[in-house]
């Protein structure tokens, strides 16, 4: 009976080896003695013929070496990534700082522009003020000036004579107040050997002493223990056309105010260097010794007299306040 499977020559004795049979599988030279080794047979390979062409499978040792080689690369990659992230963060920060600086520069530029506009406005206001001053130079606010001056002006009673006086100059060393008036106001008291007069402010009367006098200039100094605010001398020399106010007690009428302008500066007829101020503000007996003040309320002269003659109006005389400063400390 024919076998079910196997090659045709299965069971056939191999040549030269009685009773042997051909192996079922293996290469043709399986069992052939290896050259130079008697009785040896070539080993039978159990690896398929295509296995020699596959790449070798890495063993555990190779994988460890590859991992160790990858560690520096990964570290370098992480370092580069960290540097990139840091640079990005710094770039964002610099961008924000640059934006803040740009905003500050815009704010500073706007502030400078506002300062320039404010300076322009100030210059415009100064020009307007100068224009208004030029327009009002020939006028005076007599009410404001009178309110400023009146508290320092007094009615003087010296025997039978009456006149005016005003607080002026430095205070006496022993205290109190120094006042200026005309010498002719106190002349009768001085001639009688007296040295005391009275001064009146409102309804209050104060005692005053006659101090230094200058007959030639028609000036006298009074001193009182009461304390009053002194008027100040004008720093500038009065000019023709300047507005002036006279404050005094004409005919004993205290706190009278008249206004006018300076008419001229005249030399004294005695040939001295002294001048007198001619002005047109009305004055009367009793105004003598009162202050002649400018638009700022500063004293420019001491009212002295007026020309009385038929047909003559508006010629009044005052002594420059600089002459009074020779008697008291201004």
What is residue 54's predicted lDDT score, i.e. its pLDDT? Answer: 52
- DSSP per residue, 11-78: TPBPTTSTT-B--SSS-TTTTPPPTTSTT--PPPP-S-GGGGGSPPPP-HHHHHHHHHHHHHHHHHHH
State the average pLDDT over residues 185-208: 96
Residue 42: inside a domain: no
pLDDT by residue (tens digit) across 208-233?
999 999 999 999 999 999 999 999 99
What is residue 133's predicted lDDT score, i.e. its pLDDT? Answer: 61
- Predicted confidence band of residue 20 (pLDDT cuts 50, 70, 90): very low
CB 279 within 8 A of CB 261: yes
What is residue 53's predicted lDDT score, i.e. its pLDDT? Answer: 54
211: tokens are 């101090």
- Predicted confidence band of residue 74 (pLDDT cuts 50, 70, 90): confident
**Which of 164, 316, 148 lies closest to 232, judged by CA?**
148
> Which domain, by its residues, includes 214?
142-324
**Angle subtended at Cα 149 by Cα 143 and Cα 152, rounded to the nearest 5 degrees:** 150
What is residue 10's predicted lDDT score, i.e. its pLDDT? Answer: 47
213: tokens are 């006098």
Residue 35: inside a domain: no
pLDDT of residue 96 exceeding 50, the answer is yes
CB 277 within 8 A of CB 303: no
pLDDT of residue 65 exceeding 60, the answer is yes
CA distance linking residue 314 with residue 306, whole number of Å: 8
Residue 4: inside a domain: no
Q: Which of 46-50, 96-100, 187-191 has the highest mean pLDDT?
A: 187-191
**Which of 305, 326, 298 lies closest to 238, judged by CA?**
298
| Percentage, residues of the chain above pLDDT 70 | 74
CA distance linking residue 182 with residue 287, whole number of Å: 10
**Angle subtended at Cα 131 by Cα 127 and Cα 137, rounded to the nearest 5 degrees:** 140
Residue 10: inside a domain: no
Residue 76: inside a domain: no
Look at the chain and report how many structural domains it folds into.
Answer: 1
Mean pLDDT of the chain: 81
- Predicted confidence band of residue 60 (pLDDT cuts 50, 70, 90): low
CA distance linking residue 210 with residue 87, whole number of Å: 94
Least confident of 127-136, 180-189, 280-289, 321-330: 127-136
Q: Which residue has the higher pLDDT, 86 or 181?
A: 181
pLDDT by residue (tens digit) across 125-162?
888 877 666 555 557 899 999 999 999 999 999 999 99
Q: Which residue has the higher pLDDT, 329 or 274?
A: 329
Residue 177: inside a domain: yes
Tokens 């963060």, located at residue = 89
CB 253 within 8 A of CB 177: no
| Percentage, residues of the chain above pLDDT 90 | 49
Residue 227: inside a domain: yes
Least confident of 32-41, 70-79, 162-171, 230-239: 32-41
CA distances from 203 to 167, 206, 276 (A): 17, 10, 33
Q: Which residues are catalytic?
A: 184, 218, 288
pLDDT by residue (tens digit) across 264-287?
999 887 666 778 999 999 999 999
What is residue 24's predicted lDDT score, i.e. its pLDDT? Answer: 45
Residue 92: inside a domain: no
Could you give the residue ranges of the DSSP H alpha helices within 160-315? 183-191
Tokens 């106010």, located at residue = 245
Q: For position 245, which CATH number holds?
A: 2.40.10.120
CA distance linking residue 209 with residue 206, whole number of Å: 10
C-beta atoms surrounding 166 within 10 Å: 26
CA distance linking residue 38 with residue 40, whole number of Å: 5
Least confident of 34-38, 172-176, 319-323: 34-38
């Amino acid at each position: 009976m024919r076998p079910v499977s196997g090659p045709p020559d299965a069971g056939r004795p191999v040549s030269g080896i009685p009773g042997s049979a051909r192996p079922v599988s293996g290469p043709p030279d399986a069992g052939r003695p290896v050259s130079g080794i008697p009785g040896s047979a070539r080993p039978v390979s159990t690896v398929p013929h295509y296995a020699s062409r596959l790449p070798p499978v890495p063993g555990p040792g190779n994988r460890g070496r590859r991992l160790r080689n990858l560690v520096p690369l990964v570290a370098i990659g992480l370092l580069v990534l960290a540097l990139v992230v840091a640079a990005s963060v710094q770039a964002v920060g610099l961008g924000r700082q640059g934006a803040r600086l740009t905003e500050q520069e815009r704010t500073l530029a706007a502030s400078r522009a506002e300062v320039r506009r404010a300076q322009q406005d100030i210059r415009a206001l100064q020009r307007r003020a100068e224009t208004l001053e030029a327009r009002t130079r020939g006028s005076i606010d007599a009410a404001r000036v009178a309110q400023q001056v009146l508290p320092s002006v007094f009615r003087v009673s010296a025997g039978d004579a009456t006149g005016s006086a005003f607080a002026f100059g430095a205070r006496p060393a022993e205290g109190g107040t120094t006042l200026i008036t005309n010498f002719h106001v106190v002349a009768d008291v001085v001639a009688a050997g007296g040295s005391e007069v009275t001064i009146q402010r409102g309804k209050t009367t104060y005692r005053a002493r006659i101090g230094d006098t200058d007959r030639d200039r028609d000036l006298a100094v009074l001193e009182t223990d009461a304390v009053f605010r002194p008027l100040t001398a004008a720093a500038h020399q009065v000019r023709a056309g300047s507005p002036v106010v006279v404050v005094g007690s004409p005919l004993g009428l205290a706190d009278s105010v008249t206004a006018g302008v300076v008419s001229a500066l005249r030399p004294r007829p005695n040939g001295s260097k002294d001048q007198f101020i001619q002005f047109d503000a009305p004055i009367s007996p009793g105004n003598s010794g009162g202050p002649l003040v400018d638009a700022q309320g500063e004293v420019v002269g001491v009212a002295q007299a007026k020309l009385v003659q038929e047909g003559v109006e508006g010629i009044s005389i005052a002594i420059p306040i600089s002459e009074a400063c020779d008697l008291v400390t201004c």
